[in-house]
Structure 1
Amino acid sequence: MGNDDKTPLPTSDPSNAQIYNALCHCGTVQYTVTLSPPLARQKVVECNCSICSRNGYLLVYPLREHVVVQSGEEVLRSYSFGVKRNSHKFCGRCGSAVFFDPRMKEFGESLDLLGINVRMFKNVKLGELEIVQWDGWNKSRFMDSDHLQ
């Protein structure tokens, strides 16, 4: 996730935040995500890159400190490909794609965000979300996905 298109970077306002409970399909991985502004006012990203489209990611990008895993961290598995920057986390029991870690601090960036799949939120109503398209297929060619064409 770059900021090449000059989209505003996330800010956090505790007076305008909401906590969401999230879990994988089997319920082993359970976590909370604090979003500011709340989900109804977030722009949720639907990326067309190979992994996002195959995993059905609909993403928001909270600060790492606003994501708290309550249970199941020990069953989370990781998958990276291409330049291996993003660590995609999925439940090792049911396979649900819960989030990805762009490891921003490790790459010298000041922000430390996670890409959270809102499909894991309890009681999320996808039809009520503002979903924006991101052309990750063409803007992120480093991902080494040519074999999928």
Structure 2
Amino acid sequence: MMDLVKHSGGCHCGAVRFEVWSSPDLHVFHCNCSICTKKQNHHFIVPKSNFTLLQGMDNLTTYSFNTHVAKHTFCRTCGVQSFYTPRSNPDGYGVAPHCLDPGTVRSVEVEKFCGEQWEESMQAHKSIRDMSKAGTELQK
């Protein structure tokens, strides 16, 4: 079991703020699907229960396409996506590590994920779906 730390973060203009409980050692995905490539969407996955939106719900807007499982939320003022609901883990959140406030991240490990071959990549990946399950390996 790894201990969790509370990370705080938000968008560029400050309208959207959140807290997320996660390891100080982040496992970040670098996906090459069409939208992640365009947005340079790097993210780590947490259970919904580990994420709290502190402010800005009324300032969020959502983009969805293809299967409409992923919900790409972003600030309608500055356009920054600090978190979203990933297709791989619709029961959790993908959080952008670059939107976290400094001081709580100890290390970042980046794993490439082939979103161009999404179905095959999901079949081959052994643990991605479990990353949004509460209590699977981390505790507050």
Q: Structure 1-normalised TM-score?
A: 0.71
Aligned CA RMSD, in angstroms, stands at: 2.7
Instruction: Identify the residue that residue 71 of structure 1 maps to in structure 2.
Output: 55
Name the CA distance, whole Å, in 2 between partners of 1:26 and 1:62: 24
Aligned length: 120
- Per the alignment, residue 30 of structure 1 pairs with 17
Structure 2 residue ranges without an equivalent (≥5): 121-140
Runs of 4+, deviation exceeding 6 Å = none
Corresponding residue for residue 97 of structure 1: 81
Amino acid at match of 2:63: Y
User: Contact 2:5–2:104 (CA<8 Å) still a contact in 1?
Assistant: no
Provide the rounded CA distance (Å) in 2 between the counterparts of 1:76 and 1:97.
9
The 5 A counterparts of 1:1-149 are: 16-35=3-22, 38-40=23-25, 42-102=26-86, 112-123=91-102, 128-140=107-119
TM-score by length of 2: 0.75
Alpha-carbon distance change, 21 to 125 in structure 1, aligned in 2, over 3 angstroms: closer
**Unmatched runs of 5 consecutive residues or more in structure 1:** 1-12, 142-149
The answer to which structure has the higher strand fraction is 2
The alpha-carbon deviation at position 98 of structure 1 amounts to: 1.6
Shift of 1:80: 0.2
2-side partners of 1:140 and 1:26: how far apart?
36
**Match of 2:46, SS?**
coil
Which has the greater radius of gyration? 1
- The alignment-based identity, stated in percent, is 25
